[in-house]
Structure 1
Amino acid sequence: MFYPNAENHPMGSSGFFIQFIRIAGPYWHSENKATIRKQTLALIALTIVQMFIAVIITEWSAALFDALEQRSMSGLFKQIGLLVLIFAASMTATAIHLTVKRRLQIGWRAWLTDHVTSRWMNKGRHYQVTHIQTAEHDNPDSRIAEDIRIATEDGIALFHSLFYSLLVLISFIEILWTLSGVVTLDLGFIEMPIYGHLVWVALIYAAGASALGWLIGQPLSKTTNIRQTVEANFRFGLVKARESSLAIALIQGEPHEKKHFQTLFQGIIDAYDRQTRAWAHILLFTSGYSVLSMAVPVLVSAPRYILGTITLGALMQSAQSFQHVASALSWPVDNMAIVAQWRASVERVLSLIQALDDLEDEIVRPDPHRIVLKKTDEPVLRFENLCISRLDGIVCASQINDEIRAGERVLIAGNAFTGSKLFKAIAGLWPWGEGRIELPDDDYIFFMPPRPYLPTGTLREAICYPSPSDDFSPAMIKDMLELVGLQELIEQLDQVDNWEKALPREQQQRLGVVRLLLQRPKWILSEMAFDSLDSEGEIAMMKLICQMLPEASMLTISNEPKAETFHQRRIVL
């Protein structure tokens, strides 16, 4: 498995890069590895070309200033001609480089997004992970949409800039060493020759500035992570309020929601202020550093030019080479803010992956306190010594030994919350407990929750979900809508809307029956599926199901007193 193991927690500094490589590495070994590797090699080659252009520009600059110093018109025109070639080469290399880099970025993001969402949206893991106390995994939507984008796009951008800086460092140190010549330091009692003095000045200057800048910028990583978390919490609060707008409006809960939003946004303000203070310290340092970087190389080389040891072109080439070396050595300082944001996003992605790993380990680990699901060839749903527990270990129901045969209708009575956990256990979403559940192997089990999921799109697609709408004829869908008393929705079948908001809950529950009648399953688990309907409406829906699907087995959780009429027996939890 390419994801990090439990022993390496993503929020710790040790093992961070190893965990990141475990995310990054498999992309270059995926099914499209040939194309991906070609793009990577092209990116590296174009980066080398960009470095060569930078070297050529410094040589061109030296030749230009020498021509100016010599007042040579022919030399000036020659440099103008070379500038046109350099200009064209630089534009071409930069444009191609940008295209290749962005393809690599979006490709990696798409691959990683697919892998994380495939693990998250698999066998109810998106639901189960919310119940475990493990690595931080709040707001998974933000981690997948935003943090993966930053982790991949900024990751490649940082790799490119670091690789470019290393190439520049190697190339321009050699140039700077050559231009430095030999400077004799007269100490009075001894004369000491210094070779490559500009290189040593650049190294000491950049190393000292980088070390100081890194120390100053340490708080930024922590504050960036905090801000991303509170921003995600604020977005989640807004989304939750939007999804529950009707309920909020009916009970006039707007003042409470406003206060809640203010509290969440105050967290953003506090995090923003802390990040601003951390960023201000970095900018205060980097702004002064950038000013010095322009002046230091000229001031260091100026005495040699004044004494006539070097030409004006050599002075300018030395200054530019010094700046390139200092800039390359200052990569940690220049990219500190980006690195902080990138690392915070990588850690958030790793935390989500860690939580999914922990959940997977918990489910597959042999444990007597886990419910075992087993497929059987018999058309039967069987409970053997089944015990259902809460997450804290408190038993909700114990010693359930029963079986439901094909075509049998059973009412689940007693505690409705325990009945809900029983349905989740049958679906494989609630493994906490003991005993065994045997499921009919080839028979589709249809779950009817209190509120059916209606994805945004056309009403036809929402009704047929999760099957394609083409699986059912228009006439069949219209007939089913008429049967459940929703003939007024026939004209809206091809209309696109957010149906969970556009339709009242009563109509949504009736659409759940339409979906059931279209799917025609052999096993039905109905959990308070008609609690928004009046007594007559709920009885009518149960009667319709019994008439249309007479051979289907059915387990029902309902508060309707007359529901027992449609069931042959009941199980009390």
Structure 2
Amino acid sequence: MQFSNGFFIQFIRLAGPFWHSENKSTIRSLALALLMLTVMQIGIAVVITVWSADLFNALEQRSMSGLFTQIGLIVLIFGANIAVTTAHFKVKRRLQLDWRSWLTQHLISKWMTEGRHYLVTHIEGAHDNPDGRIAEDIRIATEAALDLGHSLIYCSLVLISFTKILWTLSGTVTLNLLFFDIPIHGHLVWLAIIYAACASTLGWWLGKPYTLATDARQTVEANFRFGLVSARENSLAIALVHGETNERHRFVGLFRDIVHAWQRQTLAWSHLFMLTSGYSVLSMAFPILVSAPRYILGSITLGALMQSAQAFQQTAGALSWPVDNMARVAEWRASVERILGLVNGLDRLEQEIVRHDPHRIHLKKTEQNVLRFSDLCIIRLDGIVCVSSINAEIMPGEHVLIAGNAFTGSKLFKAIVGLWPWGEGSIELPNDPVFFMPPRPYLPTGTLRAAICYPSTRAEYTESAIEEALELVELEDMKGQLDNEDNWASALSREQQQRLGVVRLLLQRPQWILLQESMDSLDSSHEMKMLRLIAQKLPNAAILTITNEPMAEAFHQRRIVLM
């Protein structure tokens, strides 16, 4: 297991603030309780080895009183072990959940704010499938970190406790080398170290490919899930063009990637499995075989033999922590690196936003109620200029058609709302918020009422206001569905979704409106009807429109042509 210092530093910076968060008193109390319970687990393990020695000594002496004494003691040990193990499990699970909750909220707050979730998709780096990184990788990273941390502390305490026991039980063995004898003190301890060191070295060498294979598999699994979700969200479009065959081939290709990654991981894992399975069997027999001659010669009792075997197993097991946890560490590191990929992408985006760069569009609020473009230039990510030298001033109540290249027009709208900073010049924004209506409005899953009111709360609009707006856009039949729950993005046609977008606009009553092909599914007469409806209900609102409808030009007072 090789880790660069940079990896650990990044992980500490990412997850470390949890231990200093506002609930730090509770968090540290839980961590202290977990440590104390771990010490108690070690104490019980030591007591069990002593009990084992006394039991086998009683059996060797054929002592019934000694046997009954050990039966009584094991009942007490049994109860104590259950209580400590159960408490330890609950405390650890509580700490894992708290850590995961904190990190999830922390990362979501960085990702889902001020369009960062959209802008980061234009930043280079390994941060694809953020849903999987937040939902799955954070779970693995926090759960595995505590599991591995606990097991490492446990093994360290075992090593301290049982090395002393094993050293005492080993006594002194004399190694006869022809002309002189060499006394070896604590020979079982040295054998345990050599035994574990050989296994760990071999495990490290066999386990290196597993980290890469695990990371690759998590990536392709996320790609497969994303492909399925994308198909579900666009099921109507796929059905209309009979694209099922293409989608099946795409799914087969994505799953083929999973098969290849699975086989690669299986090969790497099988090498580790051969080592760990053989190691576990050998660790049971080896200490008994090593100590058996001393028992046969009468140097130690049967109880001491069995206690030596148990102490050897505990010591070798503690020393073998790296090989035993190779797979878990590989999975943990792969998840942490995927989280760091998203975090680093968001950090780079933040640096790009705050950094003064002449090749960035400057947005500023003004006291004047006007939308003004000054020497505005919009640039693509590859550096190609989409449009330059835009100088225009739009006043309240104006209807302006954005003509020319619709792709460039969409970049202009995104620049106005702060989602496309790449370019030059400045945009002066009015004090009132700008309402951007894309080709397909976002309708979250839930009740239809909540979807219509989004992002406002359903309590902000009366039922009569919602029903009136539905009537105005000719969706009267939906008045009875306001409290129905569904996935409206797939349950409704594109035309219905666009009409609901107009309903949302009428309810929110913005004074600055951007319409990007927002009614392209309607026929000419209905699109014009919607435009006139908006102008009638919001007579003082400025409307900027991107549309392919030729008749819409008559609705607008002037045009801005983007070439």
TM-score normalised to the size of structure 2? Answer: 0.98
Q: Show the counterpart of 1:69.
A: 60
Q: Distance in 2 between matches of 1:126 and 1:547?
A: 35
**Residue equivalent to 1:260:** 250
Tell me the SS of whatever aligns to 2:183: strand
Aligned counterpart for 1:51 among listed residues 9, 17, 42? 42
Give structure 1 stretches of 5+ with no counterpart: 1-10
Partner of 2:152: 162
Counterpart in the other structure of 1:513: 502
Name the Cα RMSD after superposition: 1.1
Q: Distance in 1 between matches of 2:507 and 2:3?
A: 51
Shift of 1:122: 1.1
Matched, 1:145 2:135: yes
Alignment correspondent of 1:471: 460
Is 1:526 matched up with 2:515? yes
Q: Distance in 1 between matches of 2:521 and 2:61?
A: 93
1 CA distance for matches of 2:395 and 2:99?
A: 49
Is 1:121 the counterpart of 2:112 in the alignment? Answer: yes
In the alignment, the residues of structure 1 paired with residue 169 and residue 550 of structure 2 have an alpha-carbon distance, to the nearest angstrom, of 96
Deviations 1:228-263 (A, max 9, x none): 111111111111111111111111111111111111
2:333 maps to 343
Is 1:107 the counterpart of 2:75 in the alignment? no
Task: Report deviation, 1:21.
Answer: 1.0
Distance 1:14 1:229 in 2: 24
In structure 2, list runs of 5 or more residues that go unmatched.
none
Task: Give the aligned partner of residue 229 of structure 1.
Answer: 219
Amino acid at match of 1:563: A
Instruction: For residues 397-455 of structure 1, give each alpha carbon's deviation from its aligned partner in whole angstroms, at most 9, with x where no partner exists.
Output: 101111111222211111111110000001111000000111113x1211111000000
Tell me the CA shift for residue 566 of structure 1. Answer: 2.5
1:551 aligned residue: 540
* Rounded Cα–Cα distance in structure 1 between residues aligned with 2:396 and 2:557: 12
| DSSP-derived class of the 2:199 partner | helix
Shift of 1:521: 1.0
Scaled by the length of structure 1, what TM-score is found? Answer: 0.97
Give the CA deviation at 1:14. 4.5
Separation in structure 1 between the aligned mates of residue 346 and residue 45 of structure 2, nearest angstrom:
46
Q: CA deviation at 1:188?
A: 2.7
State how far apart, in whole Å, the 2-side matches of 1:209 and 1:454 are.
Answer: 56
Match of 2:79 in 1: 88
- What does 1:165-564 correspond to in 2, within 5 Å? 165-441=155-431, 443-564=432-553
Provide the residue aligned with 1:38 in structure 2: 29
The residue identity in structure 2 corresponding to 1:342 is W
Deviation at 1:562, TM superposition (A): 2.2
Work out the CA distance in 2 between the residues paired with 1:367 and 1:199: 64
Q: Deviation per CA, 1:487-514: give whole Å up to 9, x if none.
A: 0011111000000111111111110010
SS in 2 for 1:15: helix
Q: How far off its partner does 1:13 sit?
A: 3.7
Q: C-alpha distance in 1, partners of 2:396/2:72? A: 88
Shift of residue 548 of structure 1? 0.6
Percent identity (aligned): 69
CA shift for structure 1 position 538: 0.3
Between the two proteins, the alignment pairs up a number of residues equal to: 561
Given residue 238 of structure 2, which amino acid in structure 1 is its aligned partner?
I
Cα shift at 1:290: 0.9
Hey, what's the Cα distance between the residues in 2 that align with 1:330 and 1:462? 55
1:19 alignment partner, SS class: helix
